[in-house]
Amino acid sequence: MAGRTFDHEFIKEAGLTQPGDIRGRLYFMTYLDVLGQKDILRRAHGPYSEAAQLQEAITAVEEAVQPIYWLRLAAAELCRQYREAQKTLAGTYAGYTFSELKSQSFGDTVIMFAQLHDETSSHHLMMPAVEAGLMSAALLYLQGLAKGFPLRGGIDVEVGANLSPGEAYGHALCAGNHLESRIADSLRVVVGPGLLGVIDSALALPNTGDYIMERALAKEASRLVSRDAADRAFILDYLGEKVKKDASVLRLPFDEEARAAHSFLVAQQERWARLGELTRARKYSTALDYFRSRGF
C-alpha cells in the first residue's frame, strides 16, 4: 500500500474528497450523544450459555439502536428541509452562495455541521446555516426527550477539514466532543466560545448590503442561546420563545412535546432517586430546573 497512487475515480468510488480539495476551514459543529447506552448494552454482555441469555442480549441491542436510528433519521431530515429552504433563498438572493448543513454519524453520536467559509465566492452567507443548525439541534433535543431518548451535546465553531463530502474532521469535532463529555455534565447542550464569537461578529456587521441577512439571522441565532442559572454556562435554549414561535410556524406540537419531555424527566429523576443513584437523579433534577425556569 505504501507509495501507491490512487486515481480520481477510485477516490470518488471510496466516497472520499479528492486530495487537492482537502482544506482546513471554519466549521459550525453540533455534537449530540445518546445517553444511557451503557446501561442497556450491559444486558447484552456474554457468555450466552443459554438460549434465554442470548435472546435477552438480542433484545437489549435492538432496544439500544432505537434512539440512535431515530436521531440519525431526524437529523438527516432536518438537513434535507434546510436544503429545500436554501433553494428558496438562492432564488431570492441570486448570485449568493450559502453554507450547507449536513449530518454524519458514528456509534451513538450524531453530528450536524456546516463549512462556514467559501473562498471561491465573493457573496457567501454563513448565518442561515448557523441559525438552522441551532434550531435543528433544539428541535432534536426536545423531540428526543419527548420520546424518552435523553441526549447531551456541544455546539461550537472551530477549524476542520472535509474528509468526504458528508464528513468533517478536525478540532471542530474535538471541541464538540469536549463540550458534550466534559462540560455539559447533565442533560443539556453547551454552546462554545467559537460559536458565540461568530454570532457576535455577525451582529457587529454594518446593516447594509450583503450584511443585512447575516445580521438578522445572527440576532435570531442569539435567541437560541441562554445562560444556565446553575453555572452560567451558555446553553441551547430549546424551550425558549424562539423555538416555541418557530415550532408554531412549522406546525410542530411544541407544547405537547414539552409536556411529554417534562414527564419523562420527572419519571427518570424519581426512578434514579428510588434506586439510590443520586448522581444520576441530580442530573435529571438539573434538567427539570431548566424546565421550571421556562414556566413548566
Q: Could you report the per-residue pLDDT of 265-289, keeping only the tens digit for each? A: 999 999 999 999 999 999 999 999 9
The pLDDT assigned to 204 comes to 95
Predicted model pTM: 0.92
The pLDDT assigned to 117 comes to 82
Spans of the chain, pLDDT less than 50: 1-3
19-249: which CATH topology? Alpha-Beta Plaits (3.30.70)
DSSP E strands in 56-199: the ranges are 97-98, 102-106, 109-115, 124-125, 151-164, 167-170, 189-191
The burial of 134, by beta-carbon neighbours within 10 Å (0-12 exposed, 13-18 middle, 19 or more buried), is given as: buried
The pLDDT assigned to 255 comes to 96
- CA angle, 154 as apex, 149 and 156 as ends, to 5°? 145
> SS3 of 188, please?
coil
